[in-house]
Structures are given as structure tokens and as C-alpha cells.
Structure 1
Amino acid sequence: YLTYFLSRKRTILTFHDFGSVTHAHGLRKWLLWLFWVYLPVKKSAELITISEATRKELLKLVKVDPNHIHVIHNPLTLAAVEKRTPFNAKRPQILQIGTKSNKNFYRHVEALREIPCEMVIVGQLDDQQKQTLSTKNIQFTHHENVSDAKIQEIYEDADILLFSSLVEGFGLPILEAQAAGVPVITSNLLSMPEVAGDGALLVNPENVDEIRRSVEKIINDADLRANLVAKGKKNISRFDPQIVAEKYATLYRKVLQSAID
């Protein structure tokens, strides 16, 4: 809302995603669109989206000159390291980052229920989620409010990142897992293929069987794992903080110069 009170010619607005707008209905949807999207856009000189997918969503929501929308990805801030433990094909650790509705928790649990594994969950678990894990006989470890150092350890110990979210504005855990040398499974929609590059298996997040088969492929195919890890390590170079920072700085200089002129 700060855009309402700032000088338009000096204002740059960044959009991460539009899930709150696109999933709303009726009057609420219109109000969110008006006050969170339309008016802020009209009060900004330049616009940033964190993915090409978010850029396309913005263009669907508001009529705006595409030349004023700049895609600048989020940076990867966790250090790239080598995985600390060998891949455990007998009982792999399957990492689930996040437990909100968009993180596809219940389909992940259903996909894993017949696979010998340990589900490592980062995020709050409610009673229904705990009950589902128990009912499906899923062995799991649970972490909340973890530090950067702890999340680094969790990635390094994981065998697979299962991140087939239903909605993501970006999908930073994809890059964090790639940096730790962990094979990634993610969704074939929105920003996730863009972020993952060639370093992930892409699945339909609503297809439990497809999710399960992808997990089994990674468990059973060492060459596939090595290929995904190598491509993931290569992919993260696109998200170096210095590269991202320079893109922001370049845009800031452009807007400042325009304001002065």
C-alpha cells in the first residue's frame, strides 16, 4: 500500500505471486485485484516479477506496457555444498518443505505410503496432518522454526526433495536442494520448471501415481540421480546473489536517472 503515498516516477514495485487474488472469489477477488494489483501498478514507474510465470500472470490481470515489467529471479543464499551422506536407496529421506495447502502435503503422503522411506517435514503439522501420517504408516521426522544452519543440515542429509507444489511464486527450495546435491521432484506448472531448469523431474502435482513413479525412478536409477544432481549444480549459477543484485541496481539507476531528467 505504500505505493499510494510515493512518487510514481521514483517507485519500483515487486510482485512475488498472485495466489491470493487468483484463488479469491466475488467481491473479495475484485477488492484484492483493485488494491493489491491495479492501483499499485498504476502508481509505479517500473515493475519486477520474480519469475516469467508471475510476469505472465501480471499481464493477464492488468493492462500494462510489458517493457515496464522486469523478471529478476530470487537469489540463492545457501552455500553450495556436497551431500554429507551417500544416497540411501533402501530407506531414503524424502524432504517436504512446507505444510500449507499449496505444498500438496496430502498427495505427497499418499504417494509415499507404499515406499519404504522416512518423510522429513519442515513446517507446522496440524492434528489432521499428523493423523494422516499415522493412518498411512509414514515414518517421519518433523522440524519447525529452523535456523539457516539447521536447514542446511537437513538438505545435506536428505536423499530427495519432493516439492510438487500446487502454487508457487518462485520455489526457492528447488535451488537450495540443488545446491546441496539433492535430486529434485517438482511440479510442471507455474514458475517451478523455470526455476528448476533441467535439474529436476517434473510431475503433474495432482497425479499421485505420477508423483510416486517419479520417486521410485530416482530411488532405483543411480544414473538418473547423478544426472539430476549435475544439472542442478549447473542450474544454480543463474541465481548467484551478485548477479541478482546487479540487475536490481541497474534498474534502480535507470529509474533514478529518469526521475532526475
Structure 2
Amino acid sequence: MYKTRVGIDARQFKPAQKKRQEPFVVGRVDLPSYRTLKGYDLVTSALKDLNVKLEIRTFKDKVPRKDMMAFYQGLDCFVCSSASEHIPLPVLEAAASGVTIITTNVAIVPELISDKQNGIIVKREAHAIRHAVQIVMNNPDMREKISQKYSGRG
């Protein structure tokens, strides 16, 4: 039996010094082969016609590991729309980077996220994701409060 550690390197993933104001940026990490499982189309449908910039990283346009902190720091919120996960490392990395998390109730998420305290847990439906993004987008004080709690700043 081997013991492996799962988690993030807090020296690598930390909040940005300054947050951007415009445009509002929503991030996802996806594998094209897992399009349905990870909810790619669900998120694009949820954000249709919203004034947001969607940043998706896949193996096609993969961000090198050393540049992932900058990717997360450039986001205003991160959406995990997965139907199944083991341990959603992008959720941990985004949260450690001070990014507000919007996620489905998947894997260990309920152990990590307390709804509306240090993230938002939504049903795996486009309208629920859209509604959560709109709330986060229109409430910068709430977004800052939520992101501070998970990143250890609040």
C-alpha cells in the first residue's frame, strides 16, 4: 500500500495582489473527451448572452503547470460543473488563488465548500450556474468575502 498526498502547493497557488474590474472572467478546466462528464456545454449554455469572458483550459490550449497560478489569479470566479470527480484539484487550486468557487455538489466538495460562505454549491443545471454567476458578478463585496474565506485571508 502506498500513501499519496493530494492537495495543492500553497506556495504556488495564492491570491493575486490586485483584482481586475472588467471584464468579469469565468474559468473552467476541461478535457475535450470528458465534455459531457465535466459539463463544458452546460457552462457555455449557462453563460450565453451574459457579459462575461469564459476562460477554458484544455489539453489543446493547456497552461503549463508553472503558469496555472497566473491563470487562476486572472479569474473572477471558477465553475466546476462536473457530474463526477474524485478530488477536484482545480477547485482547490482556484480557491487557494482567491477565486470565488461555483460548483456542483460533487465528490468531496461538501467537505470543502460551505454554501454561500466560502463558495456556492449549485444544481448541475445551466440556469442554476447562470444564476450563481450573476449573483457573484453583481456582488463584488460578497465575491471578495467568499474568496477571502477559502484562501485563508478572511
The normalised TM-score by structure 1 is 0.51
Deviations 1:181-226 (A, max 9, x none): 1111111233222233552100111x11110000001001122112
Equivalent position of 1:42 in the other structure: none
Q: Hey, which of these two has a bigger chunk of helix by percent? A: 1
Q: Which amino acid aligns with 1:86?
A: K
Confirm or deny: 8 A CA contact 1:174 1:196 kept in the other structure.
no
Equivalent position of 1:94 in the other structure: 26
Equivalent position of 2:57 in the other structure: 122
Q: Which runs of 5+ in 1 are unaligned?
A: 1-11, 15-71, 126-142, 236-261
Confirm or deny: 8 A CA contact 1:185 1:214 kept in the other structure.
yes
Q: State the superposition RMSD in angstroms.
A: 2.3
With 77-86 and 164-173 compared, the bigger mean Cα shift is at 77-86
Q: 1:157 aligns with which of 46, 71, 74?
A: 74
Within 5 A, what are the aligned runs for 1:85-234? 85-88=18-21, 90-99=22-31, 100=34, 101-124=36-59, 143-144=61-62, 146-197=63-114, 198-205=117-124, 207-234=125-152
User: For 1:168, what is the secondary structure of its paired residue?
Assistant: coil
Higher Cα radius of gyration: 1
Deviations 1:6-29 (A, max 9, x none): xxxxxx267xxxxxxxxxxxxxxx
Confirm or deny: 8 A CA contact 1:199 1:232 kept in the other structure.
yes
Q: Give me the whole-angstrom Cα distance separating, in 2, the residues matched to 1:204 and 1:160.
A: 17
Deviations 1:97-153 (A, max 9, x none): 11323210000000001211111111146xxxxxxxxxxxxxxxxx32x22221111
Confirm or deny: 8 A CA contact 2:88 2:107 kept in the other structure.
no
The normalised TM-score by structure 2 is 0.83
Confirm or deny: 8 A CA contact 1:183 1:229 kept in the other structure.
yes
Confirm or deny: 8 A CA contact 2:104 2:123 kept in the other structure.
yes
Within 5 A, what are the aligned runs for 1:10-25? 12=1
Confirm or deny: 8 A CA contact 1:76 1:176 kept in the other structure.
yes
Q: In the TM superposition, what is the alpha-carbon distance from 1:161 to its structure 2 partner?
A: 0.5
If asked which structure has higher relative contact order (CA below 8 Å, sep 6+), I would say 2
Q: Give me the whole-angstrom Cα distance separating, in 2, the residues matched to 1:216 and 1:159.
A: 12
Q: Give me the whole-angstrom Cα distance separating, in 2, the residues matched to 1:73 and 1:225.
A: 30
Confirm or deny: 8 A CA contact 1:93 1:118 kept in the other structure.
yes
Q: Give me the whole-angstrom Cα distance separating, in 2, the residues matched to 1:196 and 1:13.
A: 28
Confirm or deny: 8 A CA contact 2:78 2:101 kept in the other structure.
yes
